[in-house]
Amino acid sequence: MTESLQGKVALVTGAARGLGFAIAERLAQHGAQVWLGGRGVAALDEAAKRIGGNTQSLPFDITDDAATAAAVARLETEGGLDILVNNAGNRDRRPLGQLDRNDMRAMLETNLVAPFDLARRAAVLMAARKAGRIINITSIAAEIARGDALYTASKGGLAALTRALAAELGSARITVNAVAPGYFATEANRDMVADREIAAHLARRTSLGRWGEPHEVAGAVAFLASDEASYVTGNTIAVDGGYLAHF
């Protein structure tokens, strides 16, 4: 798949670090022009520098309507959009008794409403090209749960949104799929990675017996973004080391 995305333009949200950075880096390695979305200008610029190639920062807050509209307008004027990766997300692991309606609203704004808004705006640009790829980063929490009500509900909604958009946008030759990561060793999970009890849990609970590495999600996204996945839509690929399959 080397250079399989040559000439394509991609936007990856939450691209300054973690899974988003790995995804952006992989798409760039396959020849795409990649815009790095996020709120921190300095972090995005540093990420773009590390990735190199035809990679640029696009700072904006995905929960801000005006900022999102301006970002998509910039994409339209500077070459359009072929690939959208809705990766940015939030998490609040507090127990139910410590949460209220506003906490749920905030989670949904980031994890569900913002991907919906970006997808609907991106679809206009993609329809003009008569092709496009929308890839949502969900979670195995969309299928199973251990509490974590806000995150689980929002990712379940994003998985359902993926199917609905696939059904609606297929006639415009836009595919919509999701990648559902399991446990990944990212900066955000640094404390969990160092926890021996969690390591022991993964050794028992996953088929591969370990944490995932960010580049292992990036490969699945690159596949869905490529022509090799031209007849794949409405699906979720679990990249979880066998967590969902293993009991």
Q: Which residues are catalytic, by number? A: 151
Q: Are 8 and 32 in contact (CB under 8 A)?
A: yes
Virtual CA dihedral for 183, 185, 189, 191, nearest 10 degrees?
110
Please report, for residues 20, 56, 158, 176, the alpha-carbon distance to residue 131 in angstroms, rounded to integers and kept in the order given. 23, 23, 22, 11
